[in-house]
Amino acid sequence: MKTALPTSKYLEKLSVRAIVAYAARTARRLSSEVRRVVPDDLVEGALRQVESVSTSSFISEIDTASIISAADNVAGSYSSAPASMRSAKKGNLMWSLVQAAMVAMYAVLAAKESSNARDHRKKAAQAAERVVHRIEALSTKAAVAARQAARQDYDTLLREYGEHDDVVIGEPIRCFSKN
């Protein structure tokens, strides 16, 4: 039986930082195949950029261009890799990291532009849902484990940081001891 994952509608109930943490943790889990094609420092740099949005005390001071640039570096390196190293599966998994960067960017915009925060939160939740959909690119056994871990992350974030009807940027995420 497939583990039910939250849709963007449910992800929108999390604080904005919690949405980023959810996407970042999932992208990190999915990054192992990408690391076989793209230099590890590029992948790690992009993941750290995304994670910084969920853990920083000053989210509105984070430069969105640096987040997108780090993800673009991963995508560029992937597309420059020899065709024999790339595959549809690896491309899907690389796309999860790009989508996680989009989640982070929307979160920063939500913090900077309070008049558009609701729209940015919605876009962040939609991009986070796309990150998690990349789990399907994994083998069946790995996908089951990744879905269970993603569901557990969502439940932990909901329990630790609450459910919100209004846009809440939230406190820095500190509920996960190790990614």
Instruction: Kindly tell me if the per-residue pLDDT of 89 is higher than 80.
Output: yes
- Residue 82 domain flag: yes
- Residue 125 domain flag: yes
Residue type (1 letter), 87: S
Averaged pLDDT of the chain: 94
- Residue 170 domain flag: no
- Residue 167 domain flag: no
**Domain count along the chain:** 1
**Considering the chain, what percentage of its residues have pLDDT values greater than 90?**
93
Give the pLDDT confidence score for residue 177 in this predicted structure: 72
For residue 74, give Cα distances in angstroms to 20, 33, 47.
19, 13, 10
- Residue 139 domain flag: yes
pLDDT band at 178 (very low <50, low <70, confident <90, very high): low
What mean pLDDT comes out for the span 72-98?
A: 96
- Residue 122 domain flag: yes
Comparing CA positions, the residue from 15, 57, 22, 21 lying closest to residue 169 is: 15
- Residue 88 domain flag: yes
Helix (H, G, I), strand (E, B) or coil at 4: coil
The whole model's pTM is what?
A: 0.95
Domain of residue 26 covers 8-161
Residue type (1 letter), 117: A
Q: Which residues contact 67 (CB under 8 A, 6 or more apart)?
A: 49, 50, 53, 101, 104, 105, 108
Q: Which residues contact 125 (CB under 8 A, 6 or more apart)?
A: 8, 9, 11, 12, 14, 19
- Residue 132 domain flag: yes
